């Protein structure tokens, strides 16, 4: 199978590429060349900027890809450009979307007032009514026109090129640019006797996905023709609460400290989102209809993530523990008083 990947050289992409290569498929990557990927000399590379994709139309069309995997469609224009270039020149398109399309995201981040949404979220559940969630909030160039809802509608409503959209959860693992577990790992490495956790955040649940498992779901979708015209959630089958996740990290690190749950007003950093709104995805569809199963267990995924973080910690701790120590001291005094 001839597969063209737009992007695919950073966090999740290399794992997708590896899986597709292992299956013996012919791969072409379109990317800027700023991030190297040295998995195989058999990979063809086309260098260019995503914002100038249409300037490479002739070269891209000559590939006659069976599937185009778009790892980085941020805007309606991105999706329209892909359809314009590949309609009649490719068999299918798979576009990477995000769980941020759901109305629950709107409630979670207080973008718009509304009742807490029931979870887990199915693919048919209500989407955000407020568009462009990052406009004016993130300085990066993509933020102004970023809107996965419009990407999805453009891809799924086009009749000339069958499309699939994959709604990703929070993805973690080695090389995670957001280093979602770093704070807890660093504190445990520093042998902190306590980790303070907001009592509401402690019980909040969100879907996450280990990077290799998310990549396997993407690769599976690329290879299965019957996924066309579907939106599919990806994520853990049974999401953990934040407290459960921190404890699992502690177990991997043999940390002997204690997690203390405290009211938000006692914390230096306030929780910016609505912890009453869980953000859990229902992944029944991809599991039961398309037989998706994780290749890596959650415990193994956390173990690999911890090891990567330990191998890439800063030379000096970035945290000032003085404020935490004051909170702990105050709590101890209160406990003694009572």
Q: Report the CATH number at residue 253.
A: 3.40.50.720
Tell whether the model's pLDDT for residue 337 goes beyond 60: no
Task: Provide the CA 230 distance to its chain's centre, in angstroms.
Answer: 19
Determine the structural domain holding residue 151 and report its residue range: 2-337
At residue 184, the 3 state secondary structure works out as helix
Under the banding of pLDDT at 50, 70 and 90, the label for residue 138 is confident
Please count the CA atoms within 13 angstroms of the CA of 65 that sit on its side-chain side: 28
pTM: 0.94
Overall average pLDDT of the 190-213 stretch: 95
pLDDT at 288 over 70: yes
Neighbouring CB atoms inside 10 A of 66's CB total 17
pLDDT tens by residue, 251-287: 999 999 999 998 877 666 678 899 999 999 999 999 9
| Beta-strand runs (E) in 176-327 | 194-198, 208-210, 231-233, 258-262
Give the pLDDT mean for 207-227. 98
Provide the 3-class DSSP secondary structure of residue 45: strand
- Which residues are paired to 241 by β-bridges? 205
Distance CA 154, CA 76 (A): 7
Residue 12, pLDDT above cutoff 60: yes
What is the rounded average pLDDT for all residues in the chain? 93
Distance between CA atoms of residues 112 and 106, nearest Å: 6
The pLDDT of 39-46, averaged and rounded, is 88
The count of structural domains within the chain is 1
Helix 13-22, helix 211-223: angle, nearest 10: 50
Residue 34 pLDDT exceeds 90:
no
Please give the Cα distance from 260 to 303 (Å, whole number): 23
Q: How far apart are CA 50 and CA 9, in angstroms?
A: 13
Q: Which two tokens stand for residue 10?
A: 């950073």
152 closest CA partner among 134, 167, 137, 130: 167
Q: What is the pLDDT of residue 266?
A: 67
């Amino acid at each position: 199978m001839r597969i063209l990947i737009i992007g695919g050289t950073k966090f999740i992409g290399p794992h997708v590429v590896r899986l597709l290569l292992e299956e013996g498929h012919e791969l072409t990557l379109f990317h800027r060349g700023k991030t190297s990927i040295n998995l195989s000399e058999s990979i063809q590379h086309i260098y260019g900027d995503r914002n100038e994709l249409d300037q490479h139309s002739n070269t891209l069309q000559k590939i006659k890809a069976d599937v185009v995997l778009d790892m980085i469609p941020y805007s309606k224009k991105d999706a329209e450009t892909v359809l314009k270039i590949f309609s009649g020149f490719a068999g299918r398109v798979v576009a990477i979307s995000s769980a941020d399309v759901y109305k629950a995201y709107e409630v979670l981040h207080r973008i718009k007032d509304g009742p807490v949404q029931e979870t887990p979220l199915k693919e048919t559940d209500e989407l955000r009514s407020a568009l462009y969630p990052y406009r004016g909030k993130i300085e990066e160039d993509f933020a102004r026109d970023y809107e996965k809802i419009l990407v999805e509608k453009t891809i799924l409503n086009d009749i000339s090129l069958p499309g699939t959209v994959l709604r990703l959860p929070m993805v973690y693992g080695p090389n995670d640019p957001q280093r979602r577990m770093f704070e807890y790992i660093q504190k445990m490495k520093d042998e902190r006797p306590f980790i303070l956790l907001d009592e509401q955040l402690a019980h909040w649940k969100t879907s996450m996905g280990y990077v290799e498992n998310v990549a396997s779901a993407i690769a599976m979708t690329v290879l299965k023709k019957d996924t066309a015209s579907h939106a599919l959630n990806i994520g853990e089958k049974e999401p953990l609460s934040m407290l459960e996740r921190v404890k699992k990290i502690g177990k991997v690190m043999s940390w002997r400290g204690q997690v203390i749950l405290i009211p938000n007003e006692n914390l230096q950093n306030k929780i910016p989102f609505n912890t009453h709104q869980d953000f859990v995805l229902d992944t029944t569809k991809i599991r039961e209809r398309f037989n998706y199963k994780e290749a890596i267990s959650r415990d193994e995924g956390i173990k690999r993530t911890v090891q990567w973080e330990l191998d890439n910690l800063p030379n000096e701790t970035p945290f000032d523990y003085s404020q935490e120590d004051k909170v702990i001291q105050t709590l101890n005094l209160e406990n003694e008083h009572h």
